[in-house]
Amino acid sequence: MTGFDAEAILRALRSALPADKGRIGLHEPCFAGNEWTYVKDCLDTGWVSSVGSYVDRFERELAEFTGAKRAVAVVNGTAALHVSLLLAGVRPGDEVIIPSLTFVATANAVAYCGAVPHFADSDEATLGLDPDKLAEHLSAIAEIRGGDCVNRRTGRPIRAVVPMHTFGHPVDLDPLVELCNRWNLVLVEDAAESLGSLYKGRHTGTFSRLAALSFNGNKVLTTGGGGAILTNDDGLGKMAKHLTTTAKVPHRWEFFHDATGYNYRLPNINAALGCAQLEQLPRFLKQKRDLAARYREAFREVQGVRFICEPSFAASNYWLNALLLDPPFVSARDDILEMTDKNGIMTRPAWTPMHRLPMYRNCPHMDLSGAEDLGLRLINIPSSAALGGGHD
């Protein structure tokens, strides 16, 4: 166990972070623009709730920013995933392939559809779905039956694949698109963490039939709570809007609903916050890249640990910066978490992989040694936009 010095990690963190900041959190929102003005406008006009111009504006500007044809704003990222999966055709009894190493919302959204998560392994290069391993797994367990991809072991149709862009780093999408075409699976991106991240020059969330964004308080941009569905299909965009607004058929006074819809619409007051945040997004992204560059430099010479950089094919938003411990030093993780916390720098481990949670323990899965391993070796470090750029 030579070459590992936990104190060196603390020194590297301190050298990359601004001095005299007091306690440094993992990811704090920044309200330095028109937030007060737009929210006050909602209060002054009384348009705080389910109708108002900020929702339309936020949706239009999100579509412009991402290059998606349509963005539909909803109450949170989990709701965006839920409705995306429904519109992808996920039905009760289907299976949906998702990475085991993800936030619990990805798995929960599958369960809300009455479907079963089928866990796939993650790749150290991207921290996301490993396309080669998934290809091998599908060849071993799946067959096409009457147009459906069927899991021969369970007899259930596998309907969709939901890659997730971990900590904002894009997963390798091209081979996944190809795999989905070959196996007749619908691709749905969980882009909750990757607003502002590009894959081969194009915004994440625009490679799949539908994608979900999140604007929770700890994300790149926040609306308090919120999310959006992205799609390039006008028909699906219309259906997403309809389903997330109680499936009410427009009429001046009649209450007629033509499906079991959801009250998932983003309130106008949250959308107002979103419009103000979107104006600052280019600056947030610049600051976050700046912070990541400082970390990269600071950790260059630190033994036993590697700072996670964007994959070569991507421009990442660096939503949540992360360190990866070299395999021999896994056991030092908790000491590092403890020591950084004691010194006023908040750090966190990655999520417990989904197949380790009680409600998903018995779900189908492939070999998950990559996810298990990454789950133990990753440490998230402070990533707020305000920590990068112009502080010295």
Ligand X SMILES: *Cc1c(COP(=O)(O)O)cnc(C)c1O
Least distance between ligand X and beta carbon 175 (Å) = 20
* Count, residues near ligand X per rule CB under 6 A: 14
Q: Is 287 in the site for ligand X (CB under 6 A)?
A: no
Residue closer to ligand X (CB basis): 216 or 380 = 216
Residue closer to ligand X (CB basis): 137 or 219 = 219
Please, are residues 94 and 86 in contact by the beta-carbon 8 Å criterion? no
Q: Rounded CA gap, 330 and 352, in Å?
A: 15
Residue closer to ligand X (CB basis): 95 or 190 = 190
From the list 39-47, 92-100, 185-193, 276-284, the region that binds ligand X by CB under 6 A is 185-193
Give the residue, chosen from 35, 68, 74, 76, that forms a contact with ligand X under the rule CB under 6 A: 76
Give the residue, chosen from 54, 103, 207, 284, that forms a contact with ligand X under the rule CB under 6 A: 103
Q: Is 192 in the site for ligand X (CB under 6 A)?
A: yes
Per 3-state DSSP, the chain is made up of helix, strand and coil in percentages (nearest 5) of: 40, 20, 40
Q: Is 379 in the site for ligand X (CB under 6 A)?
A: no
Q: Rounded CA gap, 40 and 48, in Å?
A: 10
Please, are residues 344 and 13 in contact by the beta-carbon 8 Å criterion? no
User: The tokens 């290809």 sit on which residue?
Assistant: 135
Least distance between ligand X and beta carbon 176 (Å) = 16
Please, are residues 94 and 184 in contact by the beta-carbon 8 Å criterion? no
DSSP, res 216: -
Q: Which residues pair with 98 in a beta bridge?
A: 119
Give the residue, chosen from 66, 84, 100, 106, that forms a contact with ligand X under the rule CB under 6 A: 106
- Binding to ligand X (CB under 6 A) within 206-265 occurs at 214, 216, 227
- Binding to ligand X (CB under 6 A) within 136-175 occurs at 164
Q: Is 77 in the site for ligand X (CB under 6 A)?
A: yes
Name the residue among 89, 84, 185, 189 with its Cα closest to residue 138.
185
From the list 99-107, 150-158, 261-269, 374-382, the region that binds ligand X by CB under 6 A is 99-107
- Beta-strand pair 210-214/186-190: parallel
Q: At what angle do helices 268-299 and 35-45 cross, to 10 degrees?
A: 170
From the list 73-81, 299-307, 371-379, 383-391, the region that binds ligand X by CB under 6 A is 73-81
Q: Rounded CA gap, 302 and 306, in Å?
A: 8
From the list 72-80, 117-125, 341-349, 377-385, the region that binds ligand X by CB under 6 A is 72-80
Question: CA 198 → CA 67, 191, 280, 293, 315, distances in Å?
Answer: 11, 11, 18, 18, 5
From the list 102-110, 296-304, 333-341, 371-379, the region that binds ligand X by CB under 6 A is 102-110
Q: Is 105 in the site for ligand X (CB under 6 A)?
A: yes
Least distance between ligand X and beta carbon 226 (Å) = 7
User: Which residues are tagged catalytic?
Assistant: 219
Positive/negative CA dihedral, 33, 37, 40, 46: negative
CA 343 centroid distance within chain: 29
DSSP, res 380: E
Three-state secondary structure call for residue 98? strand
Q: Is 382 in the site for ligand X (CB under 6 A)?
A: no
Q: Measured at CB, which residue is nearest to ligand X?
A: 77
Residue closer to ligand X (CB basis): 68 or 79 = 79
Contact positions toward ligand X, by CB under 6 A?
76-78, 102-103, 105-106, 164, 190, 192-193, 214, 216, 227
